[in-house]
Amino acid sequence: MKQAFIIFLFISYSFCQEPAPIKSGIAPYKNEYSKKFDVINYDLEIGLGEKSEQIAGIANITIVLNKNIKQIPLDFTGLSIQSILINNSSTNYDYKKGKIFIDAKKFEASQTLIISIAYSGKPDDGLIIGKNVHGNHSVFADNWPNRARFWFPSKDHPSDKATVSFTIHAPSKWKVIANGALIEEPKISAENAIGPKESRRTWKWKSNVPIPTYNMVIGAAEMDITTLGVASFAYSPSSPRSDGSIEVSNWTFSEDTEKSQPSFMRSIEMVNFFATKIGPYPYEKLVNVQSSTRFGGMENASAIFYSQEAIAKGRNIESTVSHEIAHQWFGDSVTEKEWYHLWLSEGFATYFGTLFFEQSNGRDDFIERMEKSKNRIFQSNVTDRPIVDYEVRDLFKLLNSNNYPKGAWVLHMLRGLLGDEIFFKGITRYYSKYNNKTALTDDFMKTMEEVSGKNLQYFFDQWIFSPGYPIIEFKQNWIPRNKGKGKMIITINQTQKKKWPTFIFESKLCWDDDKCIPVKIDQKTQWFEINSDTKPDSIYIDPENWILMDYKNK
Ligand SMILES: [Zn+2]
């Protein structure tokens, strides 16, 4: 009797009790994610139910060992584990503090292993299960930055991208979206399929392109599917169509399908624009999904998730759509290797998202958007921090004005410095070199240096790795000569805080309406002389709005 009781306790502990989850969004410690093993593929099977907050999962994770290691660490938290096998044989493991340490002593470097983990429970984060904005049950993943670990075991860091396939058993009336291509039409789930036993269908999606774990998502709910058409100039190597064109569609709650149209209307135009400007679209399709992401939009590869509330309220979120579509190239395809280089994702998506409007709505609209983002930078609370800021411990704090508008402004200034032809040549080269891979700021800088033949170290040092921006003060002194002629001495001071650098930039110094001379600003105080017949009415710098700077005496 006593023994039976102990066995009962053991079973109830190992099958039911879920460990307490770790906190979301904590920055990894240095070298937490080593190259000692690489994840090649995640094969994820998830069972969902119509009223259930519980999930059942089986993850088959293919890895390659690069070194002999005693344990393979995977991120996983808040769910209970039923079994772990390596290559179909059971293995020892330790599951604590958000990690599974899987015994790997009997394996050797260069071996390929399949780790199979069966698990279940109610996810504490990452997979958001509950009522949608209209009160209907829905399930949507929301992984950024490192919340995939709350619903599937993973090496949950952007440095290790992998392919992923999903087998999702979901209530019959639901539709299920995920990354990649639908590999077969949904069919009635097998009776022994994992998860609740109810009327369900099984959906299979697969991404043959490696993507970061923060991009690996599923969305399951009752949804309308609206096909917008085909982006003919996507040139996607992963497209199921021989001409590389991709299908673009919207998945929305039926209550909001009509309201969402203005926001998504120009999606095809956007895909075509970015593919022409940057390089081939990387994925199999593009779907805009109304979902329960906590963000305004989340750029999940080939299945972008947008805030359900914004769409239900009928807001036009076209600027967000352009930003998220631009992310398919930057962030998803060229992924920041370390979180601290997030501007390679967010700054790029912000700038390219805005470039779409320069092309479609004209230069004035574009400059207005850039001016707005300039003000966001001036008013932000991170002006004393560099864009790449290694001191941030809470990854959500990286979603700041440095990584978004200031990152975009860095690209804008680089474009101003190099000119359109060289700038876009550099961008296409950078994309063709790093697509489906990862990159750091240095990789981008070196590519732009190669293409331009210029040393850009000072540029990246001051704008990316140092805080602030120039705050300019003009002083003018008119020295009259005979017969109304004279000259103007202009003093330009950089008056920003001492802990911000003295900035180096090239621009134009102008007076009256149209007279300009090229200037290079590289000192705290500089003097320039203008010969003019009359005393100029106005003196100004940067007439074409290429430089991120503020004025002391506005
Ligand atoms: Zn973004």
Sign of CA dihedral 31, 37, 40, 44: negative
Q: How far is the CA of 349 from the centre of ligand 1 (A)?
A: 6
Q: How far is the CA of 543 from the centre of ligand 1 (A)?
A: 29
pLDDT for residue 531: 86
Q: How far is the CA of 264 from the centre of ligand 1 (A)?
A: 17
Q: How far is the CA of 2 from the centre of ligand 1 (A)?
A: 58
Q: How far is the CA of 146 from the centre of ligand 1 (A)?
A: 15
Q: Which helix (H) or strand (E) holds 346?
A: helix 343-361
Q: Which pLDDT band, with edges at 50, 70 and 90, does 513 fall under? A: confident
Please give the share of the chain, as a percent, with pLDDT higher than 90. Answer: 91
Q: How far is the CA of 299 from the centre of ligand 1 (A)?
A: 7
Q: How far is the CA of 328 from the centre of ligand 1 (A)?
A: 10
Mean pLDDT of 380-392: 98
Q: How far is the CA of 320 from the centre of ligand 1 (A)?
A: 8
CA 484 – CA 462 distance, rounded (Å): 43
pLDDT for residue 1: 41
Which tens digit of pLDDT belongs to each residue from 136-190? 999 999 999 999 999 999 999 999 999 999 999 999 999 999 999 999 999 999 9
Q: How far is the CA of 319 from the centre of ligand 1 (A)?
A: 11
Q: How far is the CA of 54 from the centre of ligand 1 (A)?
A: 30
CA 489 – CA 474 distance, rounded (Å): 10
Helix axes 318-327 and 257-264, enclosed angle (nearest 10): 60
CA 540 – CA 519 distance, rounded (Å): 12
What does DSSP say about strands 137-141 and 218-221: parallel, antiparallel, or unpaired?
antiparallel
Q: How far is the CA of 329 from the centre of ligand 1 (A)?
A: 11
Q: How far is the CA of 342 from the centre of ligand 1 (A)?
A: 10
User: Cβ contacts of residue 155 below 8 Å, gap of 6+?
Assistant: 33, 37, 39, 74, 75, 213
Mean pLDDT of 235-260: 98
Q: How far is the CA of 481 from the centre of ligand 1 (A)?
A: 57
pLDDT at 55 over 70: yes
Q: How far is the CA of 485 from the centre of ligand 1 (A)?
A: 54
Q: How far is the CA of 343 from the centre of ligand 1 (A)?
A: 9
Q: How far is the CA of 46 from the centre of ligand 1 (A)?
A: 28
Q: How far is the CA of 99 from the centre of ligand 1 (A)?
A: 28
Q: How far is the CA of 290 from the centre of ligand 1 (A)?
A: 16
pLDDT at 226 over 80: yes
Q: How far is the CA of 269 from the centre of ligand 1 (A)?
A: 19
Q: How far is the CA of 401 from the centre of ligand 1 (A)?
A: 12
Q: How far is the CA of 273 from the centre of ligand 1 (A)?
A: 18
Mean pLDDT of 264-291: 98
On average, the pLDDT of the chain sits at 95
Q: Which pLDDT band, with edges at 50, 70 and 90, does 16 fall under? A: low
Q: Phi and psi for 427 in degrees, rounded to 5?
A: -60, -45
Mean pLDDT of 369-387: 98
pLDDT at 46 over 60: yes
pLDDT for residue 532: 83
pLDDT for residue 554: 66
Q: What is the value of pTM for the model shown?
A: 0.95
pLDDT for residue 3: 42
Q: Which pLDDT band, with edges at 50, 70 and 90, does 9 fall under? A: very low
Q: How far is the CA of 41 from the centre of ligand 1 (A)?
A: 25
Mean pLDDT of 507-528: 94
Q: How far is the CA of 129 from the centre of ligand 1 (A)?
A: 23
Q: How far is residue 491 from each of residues 48, 297, 523, measured CA to CA in Å?
A: 69, 46, 11
Q: How far is the CA of 248 from the centre of ligand 1 (A)?
A: 20
Q: How far is the CA of 78 from the centre of ligand 1 (A)?
A: 28
pLDDT at 100 over 50: yes
Q: How far is the CA of 73 from the centre of ligand 1 (A)?
A: 29
pLDDT at 4 over 60: no
Please give the share of the chain, as a percent, with pLDDT higher than 70. Answer: 97
pLDDT at 11 over 50: no
Q: How far is the CA of 303 from the centre of ligand 1 (A)?
A: 14
Asked if 496 and 470 touch (Cβ cutoff 8 Å), the reply is yes
pLDDT at 314 over 90: yes
CA 209 – CA 207 distance, rounded (Å): 5
pLDDT at 2 over 70: no
Q: How far is the CA of 220 from the centre of ligand 1 (A)?
A: 23
Which tens digit of pLDDT belongs to each residue from 430-468? 999 999 999 999 999 999 999 999 999 999 999 999 999
Q: How far is the CA of 373 from the centre of ligand 1 (A)?
A: 14
pLDDT for residue 481: 82
Q: Which pLDDT band, with edges at 50, 70 and 90, does 534 fall under? A: confident
Q: How far is the CA of 327 from the centre of ligand 1 (A)?
A: 7
CA 388 – CA 469 distance, rounded (Å): 15
pLDDT for residue 482: 76
Q: How far is the CA of 212 from the centre of ligand 1 (A)?
A: 14
Q: How far is the CA of 268 from the centre of ligand 1 (A)?
A: 19
Dig out the tokens for 4 from the structure: 């039976």
Q: How far is the CA of 247 from the centre of ligand 1 (A)?
A: 22
pLDDT for residue 306: 98
Q: Which pLDDT band, with edges at 50, 70 and 90, does 13 fall under? A: very low
Q: How far is the CA of 370 from the centre of ligand 1 (A)?
A: 16
CA 166 – CA 45 distance, rounded (Å): 6
Q: How far is residue 467 from each of residues 137, 340, 374, 398, 401, measured CA to CA in Å?
A: 46, 14, 15, 15, 12
* Better pLDDT: 514 or 361: 361
Q: How far is the CA of 341 from the centre of ligand 1 (A)?
A: 13
Mean pLDDT of 371-393: 97
Dig out the tokens for 351 from the structure: 């700038």
Mean pLDDT of 196-215: 98
Q: How far is the CA of 325 from the centre of ligand 1 (A)?
A: 9
Q: How far is the CA of 143 from the centre of ligand 1 (A)?
A: 13
Q: Which pLDDT band, with edges at 50, 70 and 90, does 200 fall under? A: very high
Q: How far is the CA of 215 from the centre of ligand 1 (A)?
A: 12
Q: How far is the CA of 323 from the centre of ligand 1 (A)?
A: 6
